Structure 1
Amino acid sequence: METLAAINRWLAKQHVVSWCVANRGELWCATAFYVYDAQKVAFYILSEDHTRHSQMTGLQANVAGTVNGQPKTVALIRGIQFTGEIRRLEGEESEALRAQYNRRFPVARMLTAPLWEIRLHELKFTDNTLGFGKKLHWIRDSCTQ
Structure 2
Amino acid sequence: METLAAISRWIAKQHVITWCVAREGELWCANAFYVYDPQNVAFYVLSEDNTRHAQMTGLHAPVAGTINGQPKTVALIRGVQFKGEIRRLEGKESEMMRARYNHRFPVARVVSAPVWEIRPDELKFTDNTLGFGKKLYWLRNSGSEQA
* TM-score, normalized by the shorter chain, greater than 0.5: yes
- 3-state DSSP of counterpart to 1:53: helix
The corresponding residue for 1:9 is 9
The corresponding residue for 1:100 is 100
The corresponding residue for 1:31 is 31
The corresponding residue for 1:76 is 76
The superposition leaves residues 1-35 of structure 1 with CA deviations (integer Å, 9 ceiling, x where unpaired) of 11000000000000000010000111000000000
Q: Which amino acid in structure 2 is aligned with residue 100 of structure 1?
A: R
* Structure 1 unpaired stretches of 5+: none
| TM-superposed deviation, 1:142 | 5.9
| TM-superposed deviation, 1:141 | 1.5
The corresponding residue for 1:121 is 121
Q: State the alpha-carbon separation in 2 of the partners of residues 20 and 63 from structure 1.
A: 6
| TM-superposed deviation, 1:75 | 0.3
- Superposition misfits of 4+ residues, deviation over 4 angstroms: none
| TM-superposed deviation, 1:143 | 6.5
- 3-state DSSP of counterpart to 2:133: coil
Q: State the alpha-carbon separation in 2 of the partners of residues 97 and 30 from structure 1.
A: 20
The corresponding residue for 2:57 is 57
The number of aligned residues is 144
| TM-superposed deviation, 1:62 | 0.3
TM-score, normalised relative to structure 1: 0.97
TM-score, normalised relative to structure 2: 0.96
Q: State the alpha-carbon separation in 2 of the partners of residues 143 and 125 from structure 1.
A: 16
Q: Which amino acid in structure 2 is aligned with residue 45 of structure 1?
A: V
The corresponding residue for 1:46 is 46
* Structure 2 unpaired stretches of 5+: none
2:66 maps to 1:66: yes
Cα RMSD for the two superposed structures: 1.1
Q: State the alpha-carbon separation in 1 of the partners of residues 133 and 44 from structure 2.
A: 29
Structure-to-structure mapping, 1:132-143, within 5 angstroms: 132-141=132-141
- 3-state DSSP of counterpart to 2:132: coil
Q: State the alpha-carbon separation in 2 of the partners of residues 84 and 11 from structure 1.
A: 16
